[in-house]
Amino acid sequence: MDLPLVYHPNYVAPIANTHRFPMEKFRLLYEMLIADGVARSEQFYRPELPDLEVIASVHDRQYVEAYWQGTLEHKAQRRIGLPWTRELAYRTRIAVGGSLLTARLALQHGLACNTAGGTHHAFPSYGSGFCIFNDLAIASRVLLNEGLVKKILIVDLDVHQGDGTALIFQDEAKVFTFSMHCQINFPLVKQISDRDVPLPEGMEDDAYLQTLANHLPDLLTEFKPDLVLYDAGVDPHISDRLGKLALTDAGLYRRDMQVLSTCVSQGFPVASVIGGGYCEDMRSLVYRHSLLHRAASEVYRHYRL
């Protein structure tokens, strides 16, 4: 059995491209994983479109319906940062299904990866920072409601604090939110995660990885989650235009290997999403996102999951 991967078929078509958030990276990521021999087409699972009820388990129903129908007011769309289109609304909704499927596959196989996901700036009643519906929060809520898990640890290593996720679960003892992010970066007003680790501008590979090692093993031992949701944003990269940290490609790969091997070696299943990344050189950006899948493939084989 190979590493389970989740792919979104509608990413094949170029949809809702913007200068700041080009959607074609999802299609290019899939193509790179195949071309480089990281994965075979048979490894990919395609998600189903989730009911709006599923999304409304976390988000305000009025907001969910307004976004889906295209009636969200212009100010709210501006806060999201992406112009509404029917294709983007569909992609947003099926992306939630993708992260939920990834979480289910991780529970079955010990490790699974999405080729999208990580919309952690979405709040219950509004979107923010290119995030419309919070896929990590929705997947967590569904699995808890179904009784498939009792405790979830969200490890958010995107360079920006997972503020929406932190607020959604601020009073939920069954979900532990851990965010390691650049202190001076977006969002200006931070929420309170169960554990926040603010990092100084310009932090490099070794210092970053040591900081991570100072927290993750203890969190796993103390919280003992039934599932880890890992947001592997690549915007901590030194060349990321919205990042402000200084990780290299090698540093990102080491980070992903560190997270996945630390969790899997102790028997904690991991569902991973790609998170954020912003770079003018699209091939370089897609390669950075692929590092998660390269690391996961190695870990999956090493531990014979």
Assign residue 202 a region: left if phi > 0, alpha if psi is -120 to 50, beta otherwise?
Answer: left
pLDDT one-digit tens code per residue, 188-200: 899 999 999 999 9
- Based on the number of CB atoms within 10 Å of its own CB, is 174 exposed (0-12), middle (13-18) or buried (19 or more)? middle
Asked whether the predicted pLDDT for residue 240 surpasses 90, the reply is yes
Q: How far apart are CA 194 and CA 198, in angstroms?
A: 13
Q: Tell me what the pLDDT averaged over the chain comes to.
A: 93
pLDDT one-digit tens code per residue, 47-96: 999 999 999 999 999 999 999 999 999 999 999 998 899 988 998 999 99
Q: Residue 70 carries which DSSP code?
A: T
Mean pLDDT over 12-39 rounds to 72
Catalytic positions: 121
pLDDT of residue 22: 55
pLDDT of residue 110: 98
Asked whether the predicted pLDDT for residue 272 surpasses 70, the reply is yes
- Based on the number of CB atoms within 10 Å of its own CB, is 130 exposed (0-12), middle (13-18) or buried (19 or more)? middle
Confidence label for 10 from pLDDT (cuts 50, 70 and 90):
low
3-state secondary structure of 237: strand
Domain residue extents for the chain = 5-302
pLDDT one-digit tens code per residue, 104-144: 999 999 999 999 999 999 999 999 999 999 999 999 999 99
Homologous superfamily assigned to 5-302: Histone deacetylase domain (3.40.800.20)
